[in-house]
Structure 1
């Protein structure tokens, strides 16, 4: 990683630690600047409220010119999360990523899609269909996911 990329990543991590967005907390995995373990709390006054979701951000040597990989470790049921936990978000696509965006911004975007999924670019088609056609059934699934989020390493 270039000196600039490393400095920027250090600065972004310090910003996350010193002034985290509401409901988002992060630590380095094994003091490795390239892998962040993040907790994202479900936003208040939403179906996701009370959930504690584990996520990793893995940066590569090309950061900030290439996006990190964002992956939930917690069990998720969401239109924009693949079965393996990988987050499907337009700004994470290499052609859409911009060095202007920061990991701080990315984490806020991931937290916000919990409540406002993009069903047009779904990673989980069943969740997208349920969100679109039967919101009550979808919300029941989310309540189950929130309950599961309290179990370690689900």
Structure 2
């Protein structure tokens, strides 16, 4: 996807909605120095161009009982398109997998997994992840606590 050229006002709009996705158009226009109509037009254009893809609420995992964060590196026994696609299709369906990246280096994939307990992680590992055809090696590190966690892009 090509990069979209953003002027200073559009960057400011993006910073503001990344900070507060529920900001009113009036408050947004005040913060970026535009009247409400052109501000709303710019916001809708950013949405239409796919720069803003969606709005979400950030939920504290601890508060909903998901206190264990695991970073899982997975190596497949074969890295052809068929095996990569099969793995990606499988992990897409696992609610525990919050992020999955195709990687370079000693692992083929890196996953961020959230579960409620170590027992739940063991079940995820034994009954889901290692059941995917082609998984050759799994290495897990558990997060002790987050130090930096950002959702806003540095614009």
Question: Could you tell me the TM-score, scaled by structure 2's length?
Answer: 0.27
The TM-score normalised by the length of structure 1 is 0.27
Q: Which has the higher contact order (CA 8 A, sep 6+)?
A: 2
Structure showing greater radius of gyration is 2
